[in-house]
Structure formats: structure tokens, C-alpha cells
Structure 1
């Protein structure tokens, strides 16, 4: 009986951390990969890659817990989120706070394990990132474009890996382009993600870019994806990537536009949004594959 209890508790913890949904973790790690493979030092060392991946997983977990703590009373009223562990009462609030502190502590430990020459800068960036990460979940209550704040959070997934690799943020256009591309991509895919909750958000008096943009939401996402492709291409060009990158870049760029074209605003479903989100992970990974191949050849 105790064994079954512990298994159920572990399952609830995994769901709280969203570790049962790897796409959400990968979509944070992909821009970190773009950053590492656009640096002058690319290809990055294996240990650095491992630390960035581990840190990203713990930071993402902290963000998910913070989100559910903020929304514990709202999630139970939204169809997509009503069965989340905190909203459904499967996990106590005190347990969630304990897991949040643990995730943040482990994230800090990862930063302290980074190369000594970059540790202070990375610690400063990690500390700065905590502000938008912890505030973002509340933004849907007071900000018409909460997806923009999430985009700012995602931007740190570019800055910290770059700083860890180069011990500075003097990366020029490759860094600037990657950072901006990550934020426009994030605003785009999270706007699509918010489409699933459009009616619930409206009924609860919450904000989202979907509600704020209205009928312009789909074209705005298309523009965001276009800007993402252009910025990544420009950053790759400035980073002297080899020719192998460009056919892959073109395929991924076309793929992004195709995915938003397939969204039917008159028949939005959770499965449609989930498929779009998963495909963005694949397309973002395709950009990363192009960068990797361009550096190993």
C-alpha cells in the first residue's frame, strides 16, 4: 500500500514539474543550443552542454511550480488545467513550495558549477532572470500581453549559455540576433498556445495576446515566425556558418509558416494546439541541427 502511495505521489510531482511533457522542456533548451552553437567558441564542450541542459530543466521546473502556485485558484476553472496537481488538490501547497525552493537551489548549484571565468556573470544573469520568471504567472491578471513577458524570460536561455561559454556578452550580431529571434519565436508559439484557453480567459477576465490581438493574432504569429527565421539566418551569417546550414534553415523557415497556416481559428482544439507546439519543437530543433552540422564540418 505504501509503495502505491509513493508511486502516486511521485507521479503527481512529475506532473507538477511538467516532466511528463518533454516538449515544454525542449522548447526552452533549443534556444540555449542556438546560443552555444553560434558562439565564437563553438562547438561547445560536452560538460558545458550537460550543465546548460541540467540547469534549464531545473529552471523550467521552478517556473512551472511558480505558475501553478499563482494560478491555483484559476486553474480549477479552466478546462485544460483543472486536473493539474495543485488545482485538483493532489499536491499540498506546502509541498509545492518545498519543490520550488529545491528547484531554485539546484539551478543555483548548476550556475556555481560553470567555468570560474564566467560564474559571476552567469550568476548575475540567473538572478536577474528570477524576477520575470516569478512575476510572469501573475501577468495575465494585469498585462494585456503576458506572452511578451514570457518571451523576456526565454531570452535568458540565450544570454546565460553565451555568457557561460564566452565569459562575456560581447557577442555582436550573432548574440543579438539569437536573443531577439528567441523572444519573437516565444511570443509566437505562446500566442498559439493561449488560443486553447481563449474562452476561459475571457470569462475569467484574464489577459492574453490572443484576446488583445483579436483577429490579428494569426498574422502576428506568422510575422513573429518570419522575423525569427530572418534573425537566426542573419546571426548564422555573421557567425560564418558553413553552406550546409542554409538548406536546413530554408526548410525550417517554410515549415514554421506552414504550421501557422494550418491553424483554423474557427475550430480551435487542444489537440490542434498541442500538435502545433510539438511541431515548433521539431522546427526549432531543425534550426539547431543546421547550426551543429555547420560547425562540425
Structure 2
């Protein structure tokens, strides 16, 4: 029983750092990537440095809040999942009250940063909050909860782009669509490592929804991402640097699809593919900047 567990004797500050996933930066960076895509593209490669700082801090605060909200929702499920059983709320290293305080602090920080933005962008930030809060519960009622996460990720594009321009443009939506399909791809991979536990607990995921065809679904999502990014490149008339970066991304995604098609994949491979997508995202960011300024 959970009530019989003894919380690990680790310092509170370290438990909070783990609650915020500061020990696993890939998840924070992979949200920051599409936000940076948007702010640099909208600003034609040279956004104001203070705005870039606000976007970076905002993504960190928002992702921190999202992680803690997720762990609060799942504090009774996580102990039964191998990958998540050592999370601070699941292991009772931190109390629910501490988790709530951390959420409020993170959301307050995000809210203060949002005040720096123009009114249109501020209200986009407000619109994103229900999606962020709903995502952790989506796995209980929605067959593809990763789609909810992808829409939440997409807000990073809308917010960052409009923070520069004050509006949303046709190119914005191609980048938004690319972000949604990319997120569906890498988060389905991430969910594949939890399939056995999720099925046992009755929790839904895209990996379970697609079943044996999950690798094909991931391949389709990455292919769609390439299509949306290519369309973005044509619309914005990006130069050769972008196309080289997109070529590198394509090679990476083909390699990931090939690995997912193999039999008896060790669970750590799914995490490796997830983390490699962070690097792919930054390669694309460099290509976007190069495609604008070179």
C-alpha cells in the first residue's frame, strides 16, 4: 500500500528539482525549441534579445507547472509505473501541499512574464492554461492524449510568433502544424516505453491506440512534419541553410523509424529517440536562422 511507503530521505530542494524535472532537461528543451523556432522566424532571424529571454523563461515556467500538474494528477498511478515510480509525489518524498505551492509559484512566474507581452499574445497565454491543466487527465478519457499535449506544445508557436508580430500569419500555421505533428511523433515514441504499465492500469495513450502500427504512425507524423516544414520554407523563402537542416532532420527521423521497426527494442531506446529529437529541433532552429540571415 502507498501509505506504508517511507519517503526517501533526500533534501527537499533536490526533491523539488526532480519534481520540476531539472534532472532531465530534455523535456524542458523540447518545449523551448518550437517557441524559439517561432520567435526567430517571426522576427526574420533577429528578435529582440529581451523578448527571447522572456520566451525562454516563460517556457521553463510553463513546462515546470505542467510537470507538477501532471504529477499531482498521477500521484496514485505513477507508483505503479516503472518509469515514474520514483517521482517525488509518487514516492511521497514531497507532499501534495508542496506540489500545489510549486504549481502556483511556476504559474505566477509565467503570468508575470506574460504581462511583458502584447495584449493579443497575453490572451493566447491565458487560452493555453486550460489545455495545460487538462492534458494530464486526458489519458483517462481520450484515446490519443498525446494530441492534447501536441496542441499545448502548439501554443508555444502561437504565443512566440505573435509576441513578435502582434498577430498570426499564414506561415505561423504551417509552423504550428509542424509542431503538432512532430510532438505527436516523439511523444508517441515516449509512450511506447510505458505500454505494458498503461495497459495494466487502463490508461490511454497513442502508443496503445495504434498498437502494432505505432512505428508506422510515428513515421507518418514525422513525414507530415517534413511536409509542413517544407511548405513553411517555401512560403518564407528560406535559403539553403534551412534546407540542409531539414535534410539532416529527415535522416534522423528515418533512422528513428528504422529503429522502431526492429523487434524486441530495449525500453531505453525510446528515451534515446526522444532525446535525439531535442537535437533535431536545435538543428532545425540553426537552419531556420541560417535560412533567414545567410
> What is the TM-score with the length of structure 2 in the denominator?
0.94
Partner deviation per Cα, 1:165-212 (whole Å, 9 max, x = no partner): 00111x11x211100000000011111100111000000111111111
Map of 2:158 onto structure 1: 159
SS in 1 for 2:11: helix
Determine if contact 1:39/1:239 at 8 Å carries over to the other structure. no
Residue correspondences, number: 287
Shift of 1:7: 7.5
Q: Which moved more, 1:197-206 or 1:259-268?
A: 259-268
Match of 2:127 in 1: 128
Retained in 2: the 8 A contact 1:195–1:268?
no
**For structure 1, which runs of at least 5 residues remain unmatched after alignment?**
none
Alpha-carbon distance in 2 for matches of 1:36, 1:103: 22
Would the aligned equivalents of 2:42 and 2:164 in 1 still touch at CA under 8 Å?
yes
* Matched position secondary structure for 1:268: coil
Q: Which residue, out of 233, 237, 254, partners 1:236? A: 233
In 1: Cα distance, 2:256 partner to 2:138 partner: 27
**Rounded Cα–Cα distance in structure 2 between residues aligned with 1:264 and 1:238:** 34
Deviation at 1:6, TM superposition (A): 11
Question: Per the alignment, do residues 71 and 265 of structure 1 end up closer, same or farther by CA in structure 2, a change over 3 Å counting?
Answer: farther
The alpha carbon displacement at 1:270 in A equals 3.2
Q: Partners in 2 of 1:122 and 1:268 — Cα distance? A: 43
Task: Identify the match of residue 187 of structure 2 among 182, 185, 190.
Answer: 190
Q: Does 1:216 align with 2:213?
A: yes
Offset at residue 38 of structure 1 (A) = 2.0
Specify every segment of 5 or more residues in structure 2 that has no aligned partner in the other structure, as ranges.
1-7
SS at match of 2:22: coil
> Given that residues 146 and 188 in structure 2 are in contact (C-alpha distance below 8 angstroms), is that contact kept between their aligned partners in structure 1?
yes
Q: How does 1:11-90 map to 2 (within 5 A)?
A: 11-39=14-42, 41-90=44-93
Structure 2 CA distance for aligned equivalents of residues 130 and 227 of structure 1: 27
Q: Does 1:148 align with 2:147?
A: yes
Q: Comparing 182-191 with 233-242, which one deviates more in the overlay? A: 233-242
Return the offset for 1:39. Answer: 1.5
For the residues of structure 2 that align with 1:86 and 1:269, how far apart are their CA atoms? 27
Name the stretch that deviates more: 209-218 or 60-69.
209-218
Return the alpha-carbon distance in structure 1 between the equivalents of residues 259 and 221 of structure 2.
Answer: 16
Contact 2:10 2:93 in 1 (8 A): no
CA contact (8 A) 1:226 1:257 kept: no
Query: Once structures 1 and 2 are overlaid, which stretch shifts more, 59-68 or 262-271?
Result: 262-271
| Residues in 1 aligned to 2:267 and 2:19: alpha-carbon distance in whole angstroms | 19
Aligned-pair CA distance for 1:263:
2.1
| Residue 285 of structure 1 pairs with residue 285 of structure 2 | no
Structure 1 length-normalised TM: 0.93
* Off by >6 Å, runs of 4+ in structure 1: none
Q: Is contact 2:18–2:87 with CA below 8 Å preserved after alignment?
A: yes
2:264 corresponding residue in structure 1? 267
Cα deviation 1:81-137 (Å, max 9, x = unaligned): 0010000000010000000000000000111123xxx2x112211111111100110
